[in-house]
Chain A
């Protein structure tokens, strides 16, 4: 038996006549940061929909800690595209959302979240509305909402896609630091090669639709990786970009 936290085997999914996922095999070890890179429309988000139980696969296996995943389990802490903060809830109310859905009382949920505001750079903004925060702060609040659910694994769907380039770079560094400290088990969906290289232990590159895993890269460098333009990172980034731009090679 494998000791993987998440194990996807021969996963298939079609929508009508559109074959989105042909044959997805991937695994994530506990405490590992794994990224899925792929061209637009390759079905990256479909994988997350399968994992969160929003849709059911046509074939294949999804194992979490060696147990088959069923739609009703909700074992993942999911961070959707954008920040998906509720504009009508204050930041404190947004960050406790997952705990409230789990059935925790409002006071208990707040008591669990409040101590984390400092570390997430949100201290003093508990009672602000999302509209009052900058894009970077909103993403940090969204990540806080995600990790506080204490699920065995985080699913991040292009978390920084909507940010401007500079803020995105800052957020990637910040996430690299946070992850180095907490070692969450993460599956990150992104189309930003640099982001994947900067953050991941391993990177799966998907082919165009119908998607299968076209390439698999290890990133054998210590965390956190701050050195922009370090030769190893740049070389790997170039290699991955090459496979994405020239799928035939």
Chain B
């Protein structure tokens, strides 16, 4: 490593993140100027500075509700992942199951959340369970599709090679089909994790003891759009962090994927 490494890293960061930082700052600055110059009422559109100040004053309540949402998201998403993974294996080994199950899964995706969320709260109460169920409901199918597509993307030559070596179907699945599905799995993961947060907040909005969803509902009913937006800001940050975690996870799990362009 040369002495210039840190400054070069910083230059790389600016090159990659610079445009995004510029556009977001411009947006917030325009917003702030508009509210200040035109004297917009904070009950209609609060200025970003007000959102930050009020959000900071409410930090303990926000943190408590964020933790609840984070729990619902991760528990729901984890259970969805486990079930999707098991079903993907079953479907890969028994093709008829795909025809039997996919229509059912597609129907679950057509249910309007507005209708289904209150019902799930009605059935499972105000605790963690209805959130887990709803998060799983919105993320299960995308993950299942990602996995089954990933298995199908296996190089036929690699399967033929393993079969010629005498590998069993299960062995071929573990050695070839599973690793082949990794890029698809992570693509699905990135999309689903954003659904998961939205799903959790939606379930809380329909009724919960704690969570950003119920916090937003209460803030709205108390005519506090500044706190609504503060909660929105927190949930966006949470989603971005989870998204970043999946990107990090993918890099750790697929070290070979970044090498495709680097030949000696």
- B163 shortest CB reach to chain A, Å: 6
Q: How far is the CA of A127 from the CA of B10 in the complex (A)?
A: 31
Interface contact B165-A129, CB-CB below 8 Å: no
Q: How far is the CA of A60 from the CA of B158 in the complex (A)?
A: 28
B259: nearest residue on chain A (CB-CB)? A131
For A134, the chain B residues whose CB sits under 8 A away are 263-264
Partner of B259, one of A82, A102, A132: A132
For A79, the chain B residues whose CB sits under 8 A away are 161
How many B residues touch A, CB cutoff 8 Å?
A: 25
**For the side of the interface on A, what is the size category?**
20 to 34
**B179 contacts the other chain (Cβ, under 8 Å)?**
yes
Interface contact B166-A74, CB-CB below 8 Å: yes
**A111 contacts the other chain (Cβ, under 8 Å)?**
no
**A101 contacts the other chain (Cβ, under 8 Å)?**
yes
Interface of B: prevailing SS: helix
Q: How far is the CA of A88 from the CA of B158 in the complex (A)?
A: 12
Interface contact A102-B155, CB-CB below 8 Å: no
For A102, the chain B residues whose CB sits under 8 A away are 165-166
Interface contact A80-B157, CB-CB below 8 Å: yes
Partner of B262, one of A54, A80, A101, A132: A132
**A214 contacts the other chain (Cβ, under 8 Å)?**
no
28 residue pairs bridging A and B, Cβ less than 8 Å apart: A52-B163, A52-B164, A53-B164, A54-B160, A74-B165, A76-B164, A78-B161, A78-B165, A79-B161, A80-B157, A80-B158, A80-B164, A84-B158, A86-B158, A86-B175, A86-B176, A87-B257, A88-B182, A97-B162, A101-B167, A129-B255, A130-B256, A131-B260, A131-B262, A131-B263, A132-B259, A134-B263, A149-B165
**A178 contacts the other chain (Cβ, under 8 Å)?**
no
